[in-house]
Amino acid sequence: MRRRTVLLRVGVTGGMLSLSGCLSNNGLFGSSEGIDRRGEITITVNGESVETKPQFQSENVDNESIDFHLHDSDGRWYMEGEEPVTVAEGISLLPSFEYETVSGSPVVTIEGTEYDANESGTEISFVLDGEEIDPTEHEPADGEQIVLEISTETADDT
All residues at 6 or more sequence positions from 109 whose CB lies less than 8 Å from its CB, including other chains: 97, 98, 99, 115
pLDDT at 9 over 50: no
The predicted-structure confidence for 95-137, as pLDDT tens digits, reads as follows 999 999 999 999 999 999 999 999 999 999 999 888 999 999 9
Query: Domain residue spans in the chain?
Result: 32-157
DSSP letter assigned to residue 20: E
All residues at 6 or more sequence positions from 10 whose CB lies less than 8 Å from its CB, including other chains: none
Q: Is the pTM of this model over 0.75?
A: yes
Going by C-alpha positions, the residue among 151, 99, 148, 101 that lies closest to residue 126 is: 148
**Beta pairing class for 113-116 and 97-102:** unpaired
Tell me how far apart the alpha carbons of residues 146 and 135 are, in angstroms, rounded to a whole number.
Answer: 10
User: What's the whole-number mean pLDDT along residues 66-90?
Assistant: 93
Give the Cβ contact number of residue 102 at 10 Å: 11
Total number of residues shown for the chain: 158
**Side chain identity, residue 37:** R
Instruction: Classify 134 as helix, strand or coil.
Output: coil
All residues at 6 or more sequence positions from 46 whose CB lies less than 8 Å from its CB, including other chains: 150, 151, 152, 154
Q: Contact, 125 vs 149, CB < 8 A?
A: yes
Classify domain 32-157 at the CATH topology level: Ferric Hydroxamate Uptake Protein; Chain A, domain 1 (2.170.130)
pLDDT at 37 over 80: yes
**Side chain identity, residue 145:** Q
At residue 32 the predicted structure's pLDDT band, cuts being 50, 70 and 90, is low
Q: Contact, 85 vs 139, CB < 8 A?
A: yes
